Amino acid sequence: MKKSIIIVLNLVILGGAAWFGYQKYQDYFNNPWTRDGQVRANIIKVAPRVSGPIVNVAITDNQRVQKGDLLFEIDPETYQVALAQAEVALEQSIISSKGKKIEYDRLLDIRKKDKGAVSHKDLIRREIAYQESLLKIKASEEKLKSAKLNLSYTRVVASVDGFVSNLDIRTGTQAVTNQPLLALIDENSFWVFGFFRENQLPQIKPGSDARVTLMSHPDTHLEATVDSIGWGIAPKDGTVGYNLLPNVNPVFQWIRLAQRIPVRISIKELPEGVHLRFGLSASIMVMEDTE
């Protein structure tokens, strides 16, 4: 009796394993899948908008920061001086314009009393001088705005919530305008690229459900959705070669390898304990549309 029970249990276990294996086989047979996947994200190359020595580094490598957090500061002294000079220049322009207006108004009053006392040419000359002084005030105001902006640019802050990467600056490092100094990975921009064979594309549609498995978490399936399918890849043949002639690689006629097309996948929700990192390897399966 015991042997019979053991035999039945073994058959049940074997049957269950066979059914599970068949289901897995059906999944891989019916649904497009690839092991050639990779986690991506938007990377902001943080570059200063003014030049100068760095006097304060407020972050550490791989630190998480929030939008608006200070990353580093550039020596503001030069820009403070430029701001003070711009303020003085504006005051000078205003005072000069007041003098030009007084002269112009005086000639207008004289001309009203005696038209022959002031020539029309002198009156026009004074009016032009006054109008030019008003333009100088506007120019000085714009220079003052620029000086204020440059001073504000000495404090470089995070533009998004994310993670500092490749931090290689210290106090004293010379910052150069528009030269990137560190990378900031946007934590709200992660997606997965799956490179599917071209003969799988008819089974893949934007909006289709997908499953993503990260190599870092092989036992956790992430629910995802197909966002879009790439419209082109770089050609291997026909590029410019010697003497501007096409560079064509030899092809084995009896072997035709399917091209890999990038498919963008967005992950719906991350389980607790799973963290996405740029460059992680992933396997992706696009689920068959049941409609």
Q: 150-182, pLDDT tens digit by residue?
A: 999 999 999 999 999 989 999 999 999 999 999
Least confident of 111-115, 125-129, 183-187: 111-115
Position 164 scores a pLDDT of 96
Instruction: Return d(Cα 108, Cα 268) in angstroms, integer.
Output: 75
pLDDT above 90 (res 60): yes
Number of other CB atoms surrounding residue 262 within 10 Å: 19
CA 191 vs. chain centroid, Å, equals 13
pLDDT at 9 over 80: no
* pTM reported for the whole predicted model: 0.77
Q: Residue 18: pLDDT band by 50, 70, 90 thresholds?
A: very low
Q: Provide the pLDDT for residue 10.
A: 56
- For the chain, helix (H) and strand (E) counts, in that order, are 3, 16
Length of the chain: 291
pLDDT of residue 166: 87
CA separation for the pair 11, 8 (Å, rounded): 5
pLDDT for res 95 = 92
Place of tokens 């410019």: 240
Contact status, residue 161 vs residue 185, Cβ threshold 8 Å:
no
Cα separation of 196 and 228, whole Å? Answer: 12
Please tell me the chain's helix, strand, coil percentages from 3-state DSSP, rounded to the nearest 5: 40, 30, 35
